[in-house]
């Protein structure tokens, strides 16, 4: 029995009936607050505004924005009218947006001004020049035949676009019956959200997730953290990603709790938000937590309200986890393993698990998820403490990749098992540990080396703040080991120090041949480390050095 068979819209309305005045979403930096009832009223107005534009069931509505206040209004408004919210990575530029606009058959795109050095308005006017000459609502784009509307998320007016205020006004003057009629046609098996995989390899694929997928996954994730309506979660991760939408938003709404939003990650803003709103939970990828506890002003903030949260998105360094538990009061922190195609959670630790299991494993399978480990070559199911590919089957498996049936068949087999591409082991007590990605595994002269093992080891060296290990192409061994290290402030560590220490503690073939000290790692917008870029950097540096030595 699943937790719910509701749609997102119906579930929100049930929570409003139970406790209309409870805070739903707070932006502490601008003192903006919406109760569950206020938020739902705003969602209904936007839903009706979208209906007025001719957007309905099955239509694809994109959102390209930071965690702005109306991001979630669009999510729930599209859910109520049976449209599909296509989340666009904030770090995308013109080429990537063009691909997603075309591949997703997007009918409407909602955008903000831009992100970092990327001007979204410039990009959309360049891709769709007709916006400047055609009447709003009558867009006919030569390049994007499906695209009919561009909406600006905000109050400013831009040529060819509606803004959110105008849509709210349209919604205010639209009959409620129009919304109720379309809502009755929406099923929890319908696709509600389409997320494009990071695209670190090949073209990004649109992962189709249903109401049933994400609502239930979010509920079980909240349960492992023992969420109640009294919890207040500080959300620092981007909403366009499953970490934001499911692990955060769905876990909160299913427990009638409160979200404290940070529009764009900044360690100081996060620490301030936790203190101001007395947050009980905090989420982030490892690099975010490291930035928080390493901040020079960390000690001035009162984080004693914190209890739980999630560190996920990439393998969690054990030393960083221990520091978060000790210095950030997150004694009940958990970690989740999964991927977008699994809505995303497969496994999670629980607040009741021993500390050792919570910092060293990714826990046990979530309810109603079958999990197994198979030999990637033969497909044979493996046993305890054997390394293989983790697979999952259950309600949480995506509907498929949009318009890519062959790619879907590559990851979901005939028996319904979703193949992750990740290498894991499972211990005698049923706890899973991530070893690495199949394609990240380093094969040095026939020896299989898992980067995670070496990363954990290097983390124990004084003066190391963070580390990533990659395989570097080598004529003699096929691959050799390279370590990219971020040093703690004031650390005098040298490559020789690392190698000398390692050579006495781990097998010689596991000692990094090349060590690179860096200030930061290349990240996707969702905070995942792009190991392939580190690999490329290593090759470039070594090529340059060999040229100089000739």
How is residue 506 annotated by DSSP?
S
> What number is the average pLDDT over the span 261-265?
96
Does residue 202 register a pLDDT over 70?
Answer: no
Q: What is the pLDDT of residue 353?
A: 96
Tens-place pLDDT, residues 220-247 = 999 999 999 999 999 999 999 999 999 9
CA distance 368 to 394: 6
What are the CA-CA distances from residue 38 to residues 11, 73, 174, 228 (Å)?
A: 15, 11, 18, 21
> What number is the average pLDDT over the span 210-214?
98
Q: What is the pLDDT of residue 198?
A: 58
Helix axes 71-80, 36-52, angle to 10 degrees: 60
Q: What is the pLDDT of residue 233?
A: 98
Q: Alpha-carbon torsion 23, 288, 303, 32, what sign? A: negative
* Lowest-confidence region among 223-232, 269-278, 519-528: 519-528
pLDDT band at 200 (very low <50, low <70, confident <90, very high): very low
The overall longest dimension of the chain from CA atoms, in Å, is 78
How is residue 381 annotated by DSSP?
B
List of residues 6+ apart from 158 with CB closer than 8 A: 121, 152
Does residue 64 register a pLDDT over 80?
Answer: yes
Q: Which of 207, 188, 240 is nearest to 408 (CA)?
A: 207
Letter string b/e over residues 381-400, b meaning 16 or more CB atoms within 10 A of that residue's CB: ebeeeebbbbbbbbbbbbbb
Q: What is the pLDDT of residue 316?
A: 80
Does residue 448 register a pLDDT over 50?
Answer: yes
Domain at 32-196: CATH code: 3.40.50.980
Q: What is the pLDDT of residue 199?
A: 45
Cβ atoms of residues 128 and 120 within 8 Å: no
Phi-psi region of 82 (alpha: psi -120 to 50; beta: other; left: phi over 0): left
Does residue 203 register a pLDDT over 80?
Answer: no
Q: What is the pLDDT of residue 436?
A: 81
Domain layout of the chain by residue ranges? 32-196, 441-548
The continuous run of DSSP H or E covering 209 comes out as: strand 206-210
Tens-place pLDDT, residues 40-49 = 999 999 999 9
pLDDT band at 102 (very low <50, low <70, confident <90, very high): very high
> What number is the average pLDDT over the span 391-403?
98
CA distance 83 to 76: 10
CA distance 482 to 550: 22
Tens-place pLDDT, residues 327-353 = 999 999 999 999 999 999 999 999 999
- Residues of the chain with pLDDT > 90: what percent? 82
Tens-place pLDDT, residues 466-501 = 999 999 998 888 889 999 999 999 999 999 999 999
Could you give phi then psi for residue 212, rounded to 5 degrees? Answer: -65, -40
Q: What is the pLDDT of residue 204?
A: 85
Phi-psi region of 349 (alpha: psi -120 to 50; beta: other; left: phi over 0): beta
Residue identified by tokens 């991927």 is 339
| Tokens found for residue 296 | 């020079």
Q: Alpha-carbon torsion 384, 385, 389, 390, what sign? A: positive
What is the length of the chain? Answer: 550
14, 17, 19, 21: CA torsion to nearest 10: 120
pLDDT band at 201 (very low <50, low <70, confident <90, very high): very low
Q: Which of 203, 309, 225, 290 is nearest to 527 (CA)?
A: 290
How is residue 197 annotated by DSSP?
-
- Residues of the chain with pLDDT > 70: what percent? 99
Tens-place pLDDT, residues 168-182 = 999 999 999 999 999
The overall average pLDDT reported for the chain is 94
Which burial class, exposed, middle or buried, applies to 96 when counting CB atoms under 10 A from its CB (0-12, 13-18, 19+)? middle
Tens-place pLDDT, residues 133-155 = 999 989 999 999 999 999 999 99
Class of 441-548 per CATH? alpha beta
CA distance 37 to 22: 8
């Amino acid at each position: 029995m699943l937790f719910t068979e509701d749609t997102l819209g119906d579930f929100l309305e049930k929570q409003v009936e139970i406790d209309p005045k409870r805070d739903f979403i707070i932006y502490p930096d601008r003192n903006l607050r919406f109760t569950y009832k206020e938020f739902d009223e705003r969602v209904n107005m936007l839903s009706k505004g979208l209906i007025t534009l001719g957007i309905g069931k099955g239509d694809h509505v994109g959102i390209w924005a930071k965690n702005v206040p109306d991001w979630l209004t669009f999510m729930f408004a599209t859910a109520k009218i049976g449209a599909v919210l296509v989340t666009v990575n904030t770090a995308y530029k013109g080429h990537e947006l063009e691909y997603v606009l075309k591949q997703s058959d997007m009918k409407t795109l909602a955008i903000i001004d831009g992100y970092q050095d990327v001007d979204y308005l410039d990009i959309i006017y360049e891709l769709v020049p007709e916006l400047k000459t055609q009447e709003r609502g009558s867009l006919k784009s030569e390049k994007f035949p499906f695209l009919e509307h561009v909406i600006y998320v905000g109050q400013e007016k831009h040529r060819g676009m509606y803004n959110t205020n105008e849509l709210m006004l349209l919604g205010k003057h639209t009959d409620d019956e129009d919304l109720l009629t379309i809502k009755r046609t929406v099923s929890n098996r319908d696709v509600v959200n389409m997320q494009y995989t990071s695209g670190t390899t090949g073209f990004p694929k649109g992962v189709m997730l249903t109401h049933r997928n994400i609502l239930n996954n979010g509920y079980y994730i909240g349960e492992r953290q023992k969420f109640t309506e009294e919890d207040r979660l500080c959300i620092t991760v981007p909403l366009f990603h499953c970490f934001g939408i499911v692990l955060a938003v769905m876990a909160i709404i299913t427990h009638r709790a409160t979200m404290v939003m940070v529009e764009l990650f900044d360690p100081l803003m996060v620490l301030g938000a936790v203190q101001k709103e007395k947050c009980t939970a905090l989420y982030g990828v490892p690099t975010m937590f490291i930035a928080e506890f390493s901040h020079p002003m960390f000690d001035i903030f009162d984080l004693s309200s914190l209890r739980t949260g999630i560190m996920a998105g990439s393998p969690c360094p054990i030393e960083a986890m221990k520091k978060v538990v000790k210095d950030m009061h997150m004694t009940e922190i958990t970690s989740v393993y999964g991927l977008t195609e699994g809505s995303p959670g497969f496994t999670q630790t629980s607040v009741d698990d021993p500390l050792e299991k919570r910092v060293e494993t990714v826990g046990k399978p979530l309810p109603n998820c079958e999990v197994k480990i198979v030999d990637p070559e033969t497909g044979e199911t493996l046993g305890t403490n054997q390394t293989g590919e983790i697979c999952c089957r259950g309600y949480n498996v995506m509907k498929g990749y949009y318009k890519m049936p062959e790619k879907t068949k590559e990851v979901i087999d005939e028996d319904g098992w979703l193949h992750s591409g990740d290498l894991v082991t499972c211990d005698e007590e049923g706890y899973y540990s991530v070893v690495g990605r199949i394609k990240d595994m380093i094969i040095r002269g026939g020896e299989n080396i898992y980067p995670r093992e070496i990363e954990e080891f290097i983390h124990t060296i004084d003066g190391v703040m963070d580390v990533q290990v990659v395989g570097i192409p080598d004529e003699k061994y096929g691959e050799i080991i390279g370590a990219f290290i971020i040093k703690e402030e004031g650390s005098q560590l040298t490559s020789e120090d690392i190698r000398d220490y390692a050579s006495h503690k781990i097998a010689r073939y596991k000692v990094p041949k090349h060590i690179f000290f860096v200030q930061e790692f290349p990240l996707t917008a969702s905070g995942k480390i792009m190991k392939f870029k580190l690999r490329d950097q290593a090759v470039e540096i070594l090529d340059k050095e060999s040229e100089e030595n000739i």
